[in-house]
């Protein structure tokens, strides 16, 4: 197969100089994987809902624009971390392709729009290149609630002109997105909805907390069975976003990979039990603090085996960071990806830095080397980009990570935070870059 080649000007990249040891303090903002869903949930109530501790990331700006096109007034205080969403009496029900293609999380407006408007037209999403994430569970769940759901000219169209009716929905897989859409649809449905095998991530718990404050009746929070008694109306609220456990873990892995010493403010180890276990197995020391936790990395980490699983298992979002750690660790380890098959696209890039990784199906065997060597690499998604930056910190020479816009979707000024921790990382513009 011949792959298309595109050469474009002005591609942003992160230039990383190897040899840094991360040391200092960094604060974790609200969670990307929560705030986007909370912004969508604001559609359920007329009036102004306010979210606090919102990260200043690209995905929030994309979601804000999507809500504006649905008729909402959105004010985003980027410096203060506050987003206010003024929802009209009758929001629009069409989420256009140009925004949805940029961020897969846009599909989370589906449930609130069907519940509130009786119809949703949401473009089939794009987002990270990490593998297939079908919408079958979303479709079957909403259909069970009484919606007529079909794909029409590239849009997922869901109609329930007379409203939704509660029922029991058993998910074949604890999908986070499907759980969120069914939850936000069920809160305004007639009667009782039970969601079995629901996702249990802290971001789901955060959504349930906000919905309860809006007047929803949700039981079984943080368990695999959610019971929702529908109400006729919700009201707007102010809500503080749960801390971002993936960003917290990113800094933790940065400390472990570089032999550093990092205090992670506003990080919650209770959301990272499996991750903490693996970090400690690698030789890192993790200690609780009143307002976060501290990670002291070893001189050289030990290789760790990891298999990704739904929460409370090891997060798939952190799989690239494990490979980056194992790449310079003492020993060999097996990393198993059970959720997104294309996460291993990251391997071909870190291999350019000298990592020894062999992929077989959904397994990757990593043999640690004492040091990586700098090279130009490309970010294919948010976490792959961030992990390549961390790998560049332990590579001899200067690594250029192209595709900084991917990193921007999940990390607010990652280069600034890394410089504050002692790293030599700057944002640059490549005069010309060729994509394969």
For residue 349, give the nearest of 422, 419, 436, 421 by alpha carbon.
436
What's the rounded mean pLDDT across residues 55-74?
95
User: Looking at 36-40, 256-260, 339-343, which range is the least confident one?
Assistant: 339-343
Determine the angle formed by the axes of helices 176-186 and 202-213, rounding to 10 degrees.
10
User: Which residues belong to the active site?
Assistant: 128
CB atoms within 10 A of CB 412: 19
Question: Does the domain spanning 6-28+243-435 belong to CATH 3.30.710.10?
Answer: no
Cis peptide before 384 (omega within 30 of 0): no
Report residue 249's pLDDT band, with 50, 70 and 90 as the boundaries.
Answer: very high
> Which of helix, strand or coil describes residue 145?
coil
Instruction: Centre a 10 Å sphere on the Cβ of residue 185 and count the other Cβ atoms it contains.
Output: 31
For the chain, give percent helix, strand, coil, nearest 5.
35, 30, 35
The answer to whether the 6-28+243-435 and 32-240 domains have the same CATH topology is yes
Place of tokens 């002109």: 161
Tell me: the pLDDT tens digits for 8-54? 556 899 999 999 999 999 999 999 999 999 999 999 999 999 999 99
The pLDDT, as a whole number, for residue 220 is 98
Q: Give pLDDT tens digits for 192-242.
A: 999 999 999 999 999 999 999 999 999 999 999 999 999 999 999 999 999
Instruction: Look up residue 325 and give its DSSP letter.
Output: H
At residue 207, the 3 state secondary structure works out as helix
Can you tell me the distance from the alpha carbon of 340 to that of 175, in angstroms, rounded to the nearest whole number?
12
Q: What angle do CA 249, 254, 260 make, to 5 degrees?
A: 125
Contacts with 79 (C-beta within 8 Å, 6 or more apart), sequence order: 56
Q: pLDDT band at 284, cuts 50/70/90?
A: very high
Give residue-wise pLDDT tens across range 142-169.
999 999 999 888 889 999 999 999 999 9
Q: Give helix 245-258 / helix 32-41 axis angle, nearest 10°.
A: 170
Looking at residue 104, what is its pLDDT?
76
Above 50 in pLDDT, residue 405?
yes
The pLDDT of residue 102 is 76
Give the chain's mean pLDDT.
Answer: 93
pTM: 0.94
pLDDT of 6 higher than 80: no
Which residue ranges make up each domain of the chain? 6-28+243-435, 32-240
Residue 345: what pLDDT? Answer: 87
Architecture of domain 32-240: Alpha-beta prism (3.65)
């Amino acid at each position: 197969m011949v792959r298309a080649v595109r050469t474009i000007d002005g591609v942003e990249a992160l230039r990383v100089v190897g040899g840094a040891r991360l040391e200092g303090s960094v604060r974790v903002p609200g969670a990307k994987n929560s705030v986007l869903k909370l912004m969508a949930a604001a559609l359920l109530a007329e009036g102004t809902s306010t979210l606090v501790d919102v990260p200043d990331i690209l995905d929030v700006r994309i979601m804000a624009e999507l809500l504006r096109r649905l008729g909402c007034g959105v004010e985003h205080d980027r410096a203060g971390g506050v987003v206010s969403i003024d929802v009209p009496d009758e929001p629009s029900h069409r989420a256009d392709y140009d925004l949805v293609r940029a961020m897969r999380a846009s599909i989370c407006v589906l449930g609130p729009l069907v519940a509130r408007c009786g119809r949703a037209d949401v473009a089939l999403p794009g987002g990270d290149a990490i593998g297939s994430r079908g919408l079958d569970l979303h479709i079957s769940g909403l259909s069970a609630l009484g919606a007529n759901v079909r794909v029409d000219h590239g849009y997922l169209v869901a109609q329930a002109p007379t409203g939704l009716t509660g029922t029991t929905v058993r998910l074949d897989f604890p999908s986070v997105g499907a759980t969120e859409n069914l939850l936000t649809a069920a809160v305004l449905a007639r009667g009782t909805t039970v969601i079995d095998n629901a996702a249990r991530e802290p971001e789901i718990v955060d959504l349930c907390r906000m919905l309860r404050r809006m007047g929803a009746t949700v039981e079984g929070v943080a368990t695999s069975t959610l019971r929702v008694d529908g109400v006729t109306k919700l009201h707007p609220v102010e809500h503080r976003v749960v801390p971002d456990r993936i960003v917290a873990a990113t800094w933790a892995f940065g400390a472990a990979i570089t032999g550093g010493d990092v205090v992670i403010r506003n990080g919650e180890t209770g959301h990272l039990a499996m991750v903490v276990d693996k970090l400690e197995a690698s030789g890192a020391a993790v200690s609780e603090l009143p307002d976060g936790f501290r990670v002291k990395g070893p001189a050289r980490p030990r290789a760790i085996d990891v298999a990704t699983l739904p929460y409370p298992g090891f997060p798939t979002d952190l799989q690239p960071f494990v490979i980056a750690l194992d790449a310079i660790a003492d020993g060999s380890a097996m990393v198993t990806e059970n959720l997104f098959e294309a996460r291993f696209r990251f391997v071909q890039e870190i291999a350019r830095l000298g990592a020894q990784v062999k992929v077989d199906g959904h397994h990757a065997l990593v043999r640690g080397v004492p040091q990586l060597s700098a090279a130009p690499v490309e970010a294919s998604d948010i976490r792959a980009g961030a992990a390549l930056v961390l790998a560049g910190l332990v590579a001899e020479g200067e690594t250029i990570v192209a595709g900084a816009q991917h990193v921007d979707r999940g990390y607010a000024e990652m280069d600034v935070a890394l410089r504050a921790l002692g790293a030599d990382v700057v944002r640059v513009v490549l005069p010309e870059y060729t994509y394969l």
